[in-house]
Structure 1
């Protein structure tokens, strides 16, 4: 399959000059609307009981809302100062803090429909659980930044396109590929060894950081002289007892995210529910949890601000299906909210120059199209899409820039609709 236009050119390598301040469940971030907690959920895997606890935490400690991040994690905002110990106790009791010293490094995304569709692809959920276990048991892994990302892909190429630092890609005949950053080549290993190989890749990165004397948080930030190489990585795996083979350049697959209702493959297709802008009230969250309970009690939070319910079929509508729609959740394709994302914006973020979520809501029905669009409150572009080009809206003191050019507010809806109507944003149109 063709690879989508890459957004990698937007993120030039950076050498960090400070420590990683990425928030977590234990390290809260002081935002303009109160404190923020980010709960890592490897592969977005939640039981309905754990999901209920997150809703309870939003009501008890926060502003009554939950946010889904571009890595399939959950954020709570508006937290009161001094609630950290009680929040941690609640999360720990629900099994959401298995290793407090590692909670910020459990950044793992995975194909959200893996093991459900019966399409012959490997079920990567056991790989994720083993990788998480290895991460939590590794003292060395605590040195990873809160932004280092693992992707475990069942071979279709959906999460492999999210700019991960370490990618595990399922292959036929019980094999898997491991890729370091955006390298063209990869290393093949037996599938049972894939989780351990992924951890060894992260340790290889940490060794390169130490050798370079930098504070690089991600593979792309390593100086050229210390870039990770497939040949050395193959040697490291072999020394660790893993039968590894360097594969050279690999034709990397690409698959788009699951759409609301899923790809429509029949009774085994899980229900996919889109959450507009990835933010919802605890009441909406409870409706979602109730829908999961009517299936098999499992939820999978995706990196695309949606939730897959594996036990709910699109051909056999679950009881309460209409409640999802009534709650403002999207359960049908081709709606105006597909591929529309935004950062926090005002009033939650001090750096934001506009209420980008409010602006996105005001124009969502007028500015429809097929290409992804992201509303950013400042030049940092937090939460922007990965793995594809996107229509780039950045707030300025005067209004907005669209793909680098100023657009009057009265012309914004038409300009966004025109940009989104193109089949693909030009790969060369880097919006900085």
Structure 2
């Protein structure tokens, strides 16, 4: 949640090499479950990470009745329910529909929208993006072409603070100081300036233009970066579509930023906390809903923001103490702010190790607090992966800790100017600090 766990994105010089998929998108949802080693998995899209209390209670009920009892946060502010038994899909869908979490079954996997989690709660954003979020989600669910988007396609709504710029979303809308909005695609190329009122429509138009470009290419790209079409060519194509839909726009240089989640603690009219390894137990979820006033906001950094307008400082302090007591990170300085991991064993058949247990062992041994060396890569986030796929890894600079085929782990630094092919072995998680000193 701190900058250490969410650093600036590596900026490519152009769009990534075009990719043509030879199969359909198998990204899980709530109507299409994924068979994992610990049971079926459902991924529930939560646009902007915003949950009402009743929706939060419905999710808790779903995992307690049908899943493993925990809720697993993703790097897009969504929720996964794991450990589902065979044949429970219809009951799960019924529960989620009743809670308003499935407004359109045809669009349930494409409602991938992240939004600045502190928007409207402190003084750092240029506008509150909640109206954008509601309008975009409604328009997305009403668009028949949008059903063809991949479950990996991502929209980002940034309130102007630049906290989402490093997430490499496919379509990013960012509030600008002149009261308008900047529309950008992927992580390269120029941007388009539109009015704030037109921003949600422009975001959907950009996604539909991506689908047209994909069909024209003859590819099966899932993300903007996978198109054969160059970044500026795609931006020009989006501009033509905006013109056709009567949305005024002009080209401009893209604004840069970082991928920075809110620090834990009391911030403005909100409480912010980090969830170690993104796994929320039933007691933690109950305490969160007890402290919430109307809603919860899940963040792309596996954290939770609770809006608390009008709450006294004493009550906020008491709430943070209760949240800390159930194992959530409620203040700076915790080594958990640097640590992330994929699900690993026993949940994933492809994983070579129980990465969460090993990450915890390294933290318990004090290896994380003392890790990082003294070079310019000191303090980078550490992400533990059970294989080379590195599922759920943070964007931008980081240290990869990847389980090796021969046993143990291999460490590498992902950062500009650093040779990613250079690795250092790690046989014992408690020796992480020494390995990191060597690699950095």
- Would the TM-score normalized by the shorter structure come out above 0.5? yes
**Equivalent position of 1:409 in the other structure:** 427
Distance 1:187 1:316, change over 3 A: farther
Match of 1:36 among 27, 41, 47: 41
Once the two structures are superposed, what CA deviation does each residue of 1:131-187 show, in whole Å capped at 9, x if it has no partner? Answer: 000000001000000000000001111112101000001012320000011123100
Query: Could you tell me how far apart the structure 1 residues matched to 2:400 and 2:93 are?
Result: 37
Query: Could you tell me how far apart the structure 2 residues matched to 1:18 and 1:371 are?
Result: 35
Distance 1:316 1:152, change over 3 A: farther
CA offset at residue 254 of structure 1?
2.9
Check whether the contact 1:154–1:169 (CA below 8 A) recurs between aligned residues.
yes
Check whether the contact 2:125–2:160 (CA below 8 A) recurs between aligned residues.
no
Query: Could you tell me how far apart the structure 2 residues matched to 1:314 and 1:351 are?
Result: 48
Query: Could you tell me how far apart the structure 1 residues matched to 2:11 and 2:427 are?
Result: 26
- Which deviates the most, 343-352 or 167-176? 167-176
CA offset at residue 129 of structure 1?
0.8
Check whether the contact 2:271–2:320 (CA below 8 A) recurs between aligned residues.
no
**Equivalent position of 1:62 in the other structure:** 67
Query: Could you tell me how far apart the structure 1 residues matched to 2:187 and 2:175 are?
Result: 17
- SS in structure 2 at match of 1:216: coil
Distance 1:31 1:126, change over 3 A: same
Once the two structures are superposed, what CA deviation does each residue of 1:378-422 show, in whole Å capped at 9, x if it has no partner? Answer: 000000001x200011101221010042413237422455379x6
Alignment of 1:239-278 (within 5 A): 239-247=244-252, 249-254=253-258, 256-261=260-265, 264=267, 268-278=268-278
Query: Could you tell me how far apart the structure 2 residues matched to 1:223 and 1:47 are?
Result: 40
Distance 1:415 1:217, change over 3 A: farther
Match of 2:127 among 122, 143, 148: 122
CA offset at residue 230 of structure 1?
2.3
CA offset at residue 193 of structure 1?
0.4
Matched, 1:400 2:399: no
Matched, 1:169 2:182: no
- SS in structure 2 at match of 1:374: strand
Once the two structures are superposed, what CA deviation does each residue of 1:19-41 show, in whole Å capped at 9, x if it has no partner? Answer: 00000011100000000000000
Matched, 1:136 2:144: no
**Equivalent position of 2:419 in the other structure:** none
- SS in structure 2 at match of 1:285: helix
Check whether the contact 2:39–2:85 (CA below 8 A) recurs between aligned residues.
yes
Once the two structures are superposed, what CA deviation does each residue of 1:76-133 show, in whole Å capped at 9, x if it has no partner? Answer: 0000000011111111111100001100000000100001113461100110110000
Alignment of 1:196-275 (within 5 A): 196-224=201-229, 228-247=233-252, 249-254=253-258, 256-261=260-265, 264=267, 268-275=268-275
**Equivalent position of 2:397 in the other structure:** 389
Matched, 1:4 2:8: yes
Match of 2:117 among 112, 115, 120: 112
Query: Could you tell me how far apart the structure 2 residues matched to 1:228 and 1:79 are?
Result: 44
**Equivalent position of 1:366 in the other structure:** 367
Distance 1:188 1:11, change over 3 A: closer
Check whether the contact 1:356–1:375 (CA below 8 A) recurs between aligned residues.
yes
CA offset at residue 5 of structure 1?
4.8
**Equivalent position of 2:376 in the other structure:** none
- SS in structure 2 at match of 1:67: strand
Superposed CA RMSD: 2.2
**Equivalent position of 1:353 in the other structure:** 352
Matched, 1:304 2:301: yes
**Equivalent position of 2:437 in the other structure:** 418
Check whether the contact 2:167–2:259 (CA below 8 A) recurs between aligned residues.
no
Distance 1:280 1:203, change over 3 A: same
Query: Could you tell me how far apart the structure 2 residues matched to 1:298 and 1:171 are?
Result: 27
**Equivalent position of 2:416 in the other structure:** none
**Equivalent position of 2:4 in the other structure:** none
Once the two structures are superposed, what CA deviation does each residue of 1:305-350 show, in whole Å capped at 9, x if it has no partner? Answer: 0000011769444344322111111111110100311000000000
Aligned residues: 410
- SS in structure 2 at match of 1:151: strand
Check whether the contact 1:156–1:255 (CA below 8 A) recurs between aligned residues.
no
Query: Could you tell me how far apart the structure 2 residues matched to 1:408 and 1:141 are?
Result: 45
Q: Which runs of 5+ in 1 are unaligned?
A: 423-432
